[in-house]
Amino acid sequence: MAIRNCLVTGAGSGIGAAVAELLSGQGHRVALAGRREEPLRELSARLPGPSLVLPTDVTRPEDIESMFAACEESWGPVEVLVHSAGAGDSARLESTTDTMWDRQLELNLTAPFRCVRRAVPAMRKAGFGRIVVVASVASKVGAPYVSAYTAAKHGVLGLVRSAAAELADTGVTVNAVCPGYVDTPMTDRSVASIAAHTGRDADGIRAKLAAAQPIGRLILPGEVAAVIGLLVQEEALNGQSLMVDGGSVQS
């Protein structure tokens, strides 16, 4: 595969950082976007190939525009977009406020929509593009206490499928990966939140999350990145939502 201009959101840690390392290791140029600059700079320093550090809040439309503009100014149009930025809130349905609901849709559905919309014109013109959205097992099944997050993740899967159908004859593919519980800072925050709300032991909570995967452990960020790498390579994979969950949801 030719050397490509790649943009990874949520690159400061977890899945996004693992994806950036994989793509850079394959020789691609990788722009690193995330809210916190320091982790992005630390990641940039250890990547083997060219990189850009782009502090970005993807819930701000002006930040998204600046992020893409910086890539275009330095390297040219974004050819590979991996949207990994996201987070979850946990609450009982009756305790889920409008603010929580709006925040989850803004971050997990509207932000990827805006990024995909911004990336598509140049990809369509070039006759090549790869878009991968990090969704979730919550894109496929519901779970207690995460109604807003689950609604947003179900929605982003609809976005992926519709965009893939629209762009199928242009050389642009759009796919999603749907991880289960991954050993990332996001899972650490989930464990801490559950422990704070329930008084249960954090180690016990983590063990229960690990057991939710049939393989009996948390998924590793590199395992998710490897699947994303496949989606970046293969044009025949389009409109797919690949589960990376150790077999908990057979889809």
* Environment class of 177 (CB within 10 Å of its CB; exposed 0-12, middle 13-18, buried 19+): buried
Distance CA 153, CA 180 (A): 13
Catalytic residue among 68, 128, 145, 149: 149
Residue listed under structure tokens 């503009």: 69
Q: Please indicate whether residue 181 is annotated as part of the active site.
A: no
Task: Give the HSE-up count for residue 38: Cα atoms under 13 Å, Cβ half-sphere.
Answer: 0
* 171 Rama sector, left if φ>0, alpha if ψ -120 to 50, beta otherwise: left
Cα angle 201, 211, 221; round to 5:
95
- Catalytic positions: 149
